[in-house]
């Protein structure tokens, strides 16, 4: 009951905080509108996938010269249009090791007569690997169609190549969607602004000290853990409500796409919201100076967002910077959200949730230890 009362009090306090609500709701909406419009052309034009390398092996028993010629044309066309580099190797072990070591986005093993293509996709590069997978699937569908036409009605090939006749219509229920600039910044600006809920968590604890209310609460039959639990829950719920407003506005007004798996999206955003609130609470116990704590948060947050692809896509960053980005939890949650929303894949969801909750548990544990020593209310 005491935790519930503190929770309700914290909710009311945050809802009435006009300045905080403007920052957490209007600010990301404005950024989505401005950045979405400014970079619309960049997202609508040909997408630069960055350094995408695909390894392939064609066994000796895959001796169909027609397929070899068609596959060679496919590789050249993809390289010219997207910059994807196709590299041939005769060693299957090298191809498998390249996927496991995260050196290549995908590996094709072509064997047999009739032809069989086994694709090994690098899940750590889910977005670009899925594009390669879709391109390969389209090529194989076209090749099979042309082969059937060539065997049964060779004269129809001229019509097929000239586009005057359509014999096959391909419809994919899991067709991958490319994010527009509004789609992209709806996700990244949401994860950016949710980082600033660390300030909500920080001031939730620090205001109790500055307003001299914490000592009076703790003089009643209330324990430190009850006070902290109620305030953390209140801050997290308010943060989620603010994020929900941003999502609804971007979805219904700006027409941003949030995918077909709302449960996975909600799980990622909920776990992610707990992390910055917990970080702010821990700083309230760790640092006596409010100005210093705010300076630390305002320095760390833009760096974490940048490394997470909040301002520019990770694909345009150099290899060295992409490796450093692994230290940012924003990178993991953004990657998981893009996989869920645009690839229809849950790849990376478990890792992102685990990282978010692990960091939150670390900060909550630290806060619990320090709260017993009354560090925040001294």
Instruction: pLDDT band for 173, please (50, 70, 90 cuts).
Output: very low
Instruction: pLDDT band for 246, please (50, 70, 90 cuts).
Output: very high
Share of the chain above pLDDT 90, in %: 32
Q: Answer yes or no: is pLDDT of 310 > 60.
A: yes
Domain 53-162 is of which CATH architecture?
Answer: 3-Layer(aba) Sandwich (3.40)
Question: Token digits for 356?
Answer: 């978010």
Share of the chain above pLDDT 70, in %: 80
Nearest to 279 by CA among 201, 179, 190: 201
Mean pLDDT of 249-263: 93
Of the listed ranges 152-161, 246-255, 277-286, the one predicted with least confidence: 152-161
Question: Token digits for 130?
Answer: 């899925």
User: What is the residue whose two structure tokens read 């699937």?
Assistant: 137
Nearest to 224 by CA among 324, 357, 364: 364
User: What is the residue whose two structure tokens read 């047999």?
Assistant: 112
Highest mean pLDDT among 8-12, 265-269, 344-348: 265-269
Q: Answer yes or no: is pLDDT of 275 > 90.
A: yes
In terms of pLDDT, which residue wins out, 332 or 226?
A: 332
For residues 240 and 246, what is the distance between their CA atoms, to the nearest angstrom? 10
Highest mean pLDDT among 46-50, 115-119, 152-156: 115-119
- What does the mean pLDDT of the chain come to? 81
Q: In terms of pTM, does the model score above 0.75? A: no
For residues 311 and 123, what is the distance between their CA atoms, to the nearest angstrom? 23
What pLDDT sits at residue 214?
61
CB-based contact 206:369 (threshold 8 Å): no
Q: Kindly list the domain boundaries of the chain, sorted by start residue.
A: 2-43+179-372, 53-162
């Amino acid at each position: 009951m005491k935790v519930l009362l503190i929770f309700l009090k914290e909710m009311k306090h945050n809802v009435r905080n006009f300045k905080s609500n403007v920052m957490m709701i209007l600010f990301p909406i404005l950024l989505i509108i401005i950045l979405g419009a400014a970079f619309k052309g960049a997202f609508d034009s040909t997408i630069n996938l960055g350094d995408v390398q695909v390894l392939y092996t064609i066994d000796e028993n895959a001796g169909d010269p027609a397929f070899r010629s068609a596959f060679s044309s496919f590789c050249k066309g993809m390289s010219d249009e997207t910059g994807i580099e196709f590299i041939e190797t005769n060693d299957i072990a090298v191809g498998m090791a390249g996927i496991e070591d995260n050196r290549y986005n995908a590996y094709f093993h072509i064997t047999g007569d009739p032809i069989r293509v086994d694709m090994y996709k690098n899940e750590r590069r889910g977005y670009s690997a899925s594009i390669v997978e879709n391109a390969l699937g389209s090529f194989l569908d076209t090749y099979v169609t042309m082969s059937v036409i060539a065997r049964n009605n060779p004269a129809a090939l001229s019509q097929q190549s000239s586009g005057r006749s359509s014999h096959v219509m391909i419809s994919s229920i899991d067709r991958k969607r490319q994010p527009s600039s509004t789609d992209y910044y709806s996700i990244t600006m949401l994860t950016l602004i949710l980082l600033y809920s660390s300030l909500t968590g920080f001031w939730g604890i620090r205001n109790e000290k500055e307003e001299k209310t914490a000592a009076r609460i703790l003089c009643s039959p209330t324990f430190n853990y009850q006070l902290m639990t109620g305030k953390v829950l209140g801050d997290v719920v308010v943060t989620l409500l603010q994020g929900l407003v941003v999502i609804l506005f971007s979805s219904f007004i700006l027409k941003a796409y949030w995918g077909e798996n709302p449960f996975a999206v909600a799980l990622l955003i909920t776990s992610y919201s707990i992390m910055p609130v917990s970080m702010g609470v821990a700083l309230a116990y760790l640092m006596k100076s409010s100005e210093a704590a705010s300076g630390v948060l305002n320095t760390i947050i833009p760096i974490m967002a940048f490394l997470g692809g909040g301002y520019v896509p990770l694909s345009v960053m150099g290899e060295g910077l992409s490796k450093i980005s692994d230290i940012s939890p924003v990178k993991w949650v953004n990657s998981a959200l893009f996989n869920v929303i645009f690839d229809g894949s849950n790849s990376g969801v478990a890792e992102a949730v685990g990282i978010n909750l692990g960091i939150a548990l670390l900060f909550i544990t630290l806060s619990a230890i320090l709260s017993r020593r009354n560090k925040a209310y001294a």
